[in-house]
Amino acid sequence: MCADDASASNFDLERFLPYRLNHLADRISQALARLYETRHDLSVAQWRVLAWLHHREELTAKEIRDATRMDKAKVSRAVQALEARGLIRRRPSPRDQRVQDLRLTEAGRALLAELIPEARAWEAELVAPLSVAEYRELLDVMGRLERQLARLE
């Protein structure tokens, strides 16, 4: 048996970093989604749009798609639903009339003022088993992996 065959036969999915990170991210996303779906009637896509508008104040749908890696249809549906609820507003961009700038409304900011502390409390409960140093190290390691991935792409 060649070395490649041996390494393939000893492949342990539970010790394969891409699988573990994806599995953990999915579980975290689903658990957090229950918080904003049940308490605030928001989908994952809607939460991501709101969170990015809170983070950057004004973005286009394309910029949100790029930041979240969501597909065009999902972002479009989220934007429409959020606008219908009065949580965001659209206006033609002064830079390019072909696109629309998206911003939070007062109602959107008020919702996030309620939701963000809830999400942070949930996150604190999730990372409670980690020390402050471990938490900082985790974020640092994730940052290094993200930078390495950018170099590999």
Domain ranges of the chain: 12-152
Q: CATH for 12-152? A: 1.10.10.10
Task: Name the percent of the chain lying above pLDDT 90.
Answer: 80
Could you tell me which residue, 3 or 120, shows the higher pLDDT? 120
Least confident span in 35-44, 81-90, 128-137: 35-44
* pLDDT at res. 7: 67
Query: How far is Cα 61 from Cα 109, in angstroms, rounded to an integer?
Result: 18
143 — pLDDT class (breaks 50, 70, 90):
very high
Whether the per-residue pLDDT at 107 is higher than 90: the answer is yes
Whether the per-residue pLDDT at 1 is higher than 50: the answer is no
**For 7-26, what is each residue's pLDDT tens digit?**
677 888 888 999 999 999 99
**For 31-80, what is each residue's pLDDT tens digit?**
999 989 999 999 999 999 999 999 998 999 999 999 999 999 999 999 99
Q: Quote the mean pLDDT of the chain.
A: 91
Task: Name the percent of the chain lying above pLDDT 70.
Answer: 95
Cα dihedral value 79, 83, 88, 90, nearest 10? 80
